[in-house]
Structure 1
């Protein structure tokens, strides 16, 4: 049966893009995109009975575990409707993990009709019981104004609750709020402290943000080598923004010896995750023959991918490329 960490590793994707697609500078207004971050609470302990048998007997923990099995198709056919029903039975008994999971079901419209108000209701029940994942999820709802009025101060308080319980996602967002003065007074020292705590827990989002802080000298002494160190950690865990930034470090020889072939390698990793800036940059590498053999056809392909996502620089580069043929 999948553990909580395995579930988080399977479901978690990048939450926050930190670079402006055109300039590579820090985004002022953050985009909180919770792509696939279910943050489901994993199976707890060992059941002496078959989970279905124990669930039918009203065991809330078993009901929650069975719901996760239906969510993942682990030992049973995947069925989000059955998962949501299992979560509901356990949630109505006050089981915090199931309340959080039912909130996720409502938030994402998995097995039930999407309903942000219901999601907030169940997240709040679990958060008030002290479940860090639910505290984070509730903070995100306040951040985005989903099911509640947008309120950065309330979001910050819930992130603080989760952060103090060691939740790395909450630590990262609390750090970002301190860095940008969202819902709290701007405090770069607090920002660095919380983001570093999460980075040390191997959260790629935090590692990328810490790398960016070292690259820009925001809250820490500027240090290109430290930036590369943290970008690399996040890049190796699949963070597209970090892969793009690491590539640019190799391209420009900042914090690391210049290596155009490695720059192209990391750009390709990020571009294949549909990161617009990486697609544009990889197109440029092919157009100029930097780190790869010059290939105008491939350059056009990558410029086009970025242009189709609205990147104006890529549109112009594609037009120029087609005129030159």
Structure 2
């Protein structure tokens, strides 16, 4: 290890110094090691004398050569940070080692940290563990926390959660914010300690009050979601804001979400956009995705499809499924990017593989139709099923459609009915119409015209034109419904407006069959339909 102190001592100017400084310096000149260190300290901090890092280095060196551990430690710090001397991490290790071997805990901690990170010395987690353990045994809170992390993760030490918790607790009791946060997480997950939400919250509060950004974010999240605490958007915003002010990207993003979705007075499009921008500047994928949506829709900003595409791409390349889905959709429409069905399927497929619900349904449609991918009914079935099993109603309906195809290997009328019924029961109009058709024709079910009528009504009330047409025909024929030409006319008129093929001709036929009184009521019916 080389020595960087063969240098001329910088001249000092002690004019205007305090009497205390002059007294200490006189002792230092007489060879008192403690006074030499104290003189260096006073120069370093500008205490009783003008700040002079060169003089601080000079006097620390004298004390260090006398074997004073604290001076050796401070020389290590100055070399590590490049204060008053060129930054030299190897020299820092040299001085820390001299102090650490004398049992000085802060030097042992710093030496452990440098071995753990491979700074100024080859990375060696075993040596890091050894130095942290020596410092921790002396009660050094930082070393206890770091040692706890090694036992929690099994890096540099056998995994031992109970031991990790004990070390975190010892450190946390001294007010170490990171240890308080780590202990809170252990209590929350029940790792190394019995799961205890209230203990987790208590330690989160302590860490948050000590300024730990991660704890502030987690406390905000609990207030935001009502997890272990009464839901309180104002308190959530308070803690998010404190963490966000320290540059915590997820807190910045969540604060943006709060301002985007909360009730007034928290709701603010301007503030939401501001926090999304801050988080996006740190490459937070969720913020990039939300910002992309704003540019795509012109929400709070001028619409810019090219900018939206760039933001979606940044987040998509981080593996964020929502952004992958949105980026893929841009290739479909050619908004801000060239149309490319293959790229659309690629990005939407990546999102689907990560469980993105809409992407899974979309991939089902693409595999079904052969859009951007080879047509593959089995693959379509796979993707529809994944989305359907999560309760996505359009996917449940499409499974019914696929199982209803006579020429498909997946043809199964009973299975088709079961999927149509699931979607229909949740109010999906196309599935309700499909159930009406099945009861009308006896396809996969026992024919039941009254049941068919009931399903057609549910679909028709949602504006399904073909269901409206069928209801009109049923009333006109008295088939599964009471014979009622006025009701038939009303449904057929609605079906015509919805674009149902054959509705106009059927309506005209119904009109021809009406008596004078019924014809007279047509004008009233038309007026009611206009009002509706």
Give the TM-score, by structure 2 length.
0.51
Measured against aligned partners, the alpha-carbon deviations of 1:186-215 in whole angstroms (never above 9, x if no partner) come to 100110111110000111111111111112
Give the equivalent residue in structure 1 for 2:34: 61
Q: CA deviation at 1:291?
A: 8.2
Measured against aligned partners, the alpha-carbon deviations of 1:147-195 in whole angstroms (never above 9, x if no partner) come to 1110111101100000000100000000000000111111001101111
Q: Does 1:117 align with 2:116?
A: no
Measured against aligned partners, the alpha-carbon deviations of 1:39-83 in whole angstroms (never above 9, x if no partner) come to xxxxxxxx8973322223222222222333333333333333332
Q: Secondary structure at the match of 2:83?
A: coil
Q: Secondary structure at the match of 1:50?
A: helix
In 2: Cα distance, 1:86 partner to 1:303 partner: 50
Which of 146, 151, 163 matches 1:178?
151
In 1: Cα distance, 2:54 partner to 2:293 partner: 51
Summarize the Cα distance change of 1:66–1:262 in structure 2 as closer, same or farther, 3 Å threshold.
Answer: farther
In 1: Cα distance, 2:264 partner to 2:186 partner: 27
In 1: Cα distance, 2:55 partner to 2:211 partner: 32
In 2: Cα distance, 1:300 partner to 1:78 partner: 44
After TM superposition, the structure 1 = structure 2 runs for residues 130-149 of structure 1, keeping only pairs within 5 Å, are 130-149=103-122
Q: Does 1:219 align with 2:192?
A: yes
In 2: Cα distance, 1:262 partner to 1:274 partner: 19
Question: Contact 1:246–1:263 at 8 Å: present in 2 too?
Answer: yes
In 1: Cα distance, 2:24 partner to 2:174 partner: 31
Which of 91, 102, 117 matches 2:64?
91
Give the equivalent residue in structure 1 for 2:129: 156
In 2: Cα distance, 1:77 partner to 1:300 partner: 47
In 1: Cα distance, 2:288 partner to 2:58 partner: 48
Q: CA deviation at 1:126?
A: 0.4
Which of 44, 49, 70 matches 1:76?
49
Q: CA deviation at 1:292?
A: 5.2
Question: Contact 1:261–1:292 at 8 Å: present in 2 too?
Answer: no
* Higher mean displacement: 241-250 or 53-62: 53-62
Q: Does 1:316 align with 2:257?
A: no
In 2: Cα distance, 1:78 partner to 1:319 partner: 50
Give the equivalent residue in structure 2 for 1:207: 180
Give the equivalent residue in structure 2 for 1:169: 142
In 2: Cα distance, 1:134 partner to 1:216 partner: 33
Q: Provide the aligned length of Structure 1 versus Structure 2.
A: 279
After TM superposition, the structure 1 = structure 2 runs for residues 267-306 of structure 1, keeping only pairs within 5 Å, are 267-289=240-262, 293-306=266-279
Give the equivalent residue in structure 2 for 1:240: 213
Give the equivalent residue in structure 2 for 1:11: none
Summarize the Cα distance change of 1:319–1:90 in structure 2 as closer, same or farther, 3 Å threshold.
Answer: same
Question: Contact 1:52–1:66 at 8 Å: present in 2 too?
Answer: yes
Question: Contact 1:226–1:255 at 8 Å: present in 2 too?
Answer: no
Greater Cα radius of gyration, structure 1 or 2: 2
Give the equivalent residue in structure 1 for 2:234: 261
Give the equivalent residue in structure 2 for 1:32: none
Question: Contact 2:217–2:239 at 8 Å: present in 1 too?
Answer: yes
Give the equivalent residue in structure 1 for 2:165: 192
Give the equivalent residue in structure 1 for 2:99: 126
Summarize the Cα distance change of 1:72–1:276 in structure 2 as closer, same or farther, 3 Å threshold.
Answer: farther
Give the equivalent residue in structure 1 for 2:353: none
Specify every segment of 5 or more residues in structure 1 that has no aligned partner in the other structure, as ranges.
Answer: 1-46
In 2: Cα distance, 1:288 partner to 1:109 partner: 47
Runs (4+) of structure 1 exceeding 4 A deviation are none
Q: Which structure would you say has the larger RCO, counting Cα contacts within 8 Å and 6 or more residues apart?
A: 1
In 2: Cα distance, 1:48 partner to 1:271 partner: 43
Summarize the Cα distance change of 1:131–1:291 in structure 2 as closer, same or farther, 3 Å threshold.
Answer: farther
Summarize the Cα distance change of 1:318–1:66 in structure 2 as closer, same or farther, 3 Å threshold.
Answer: farther
Question: Contact 1:225–1:256 at 8 Å: present in 2 too?
Answer: no
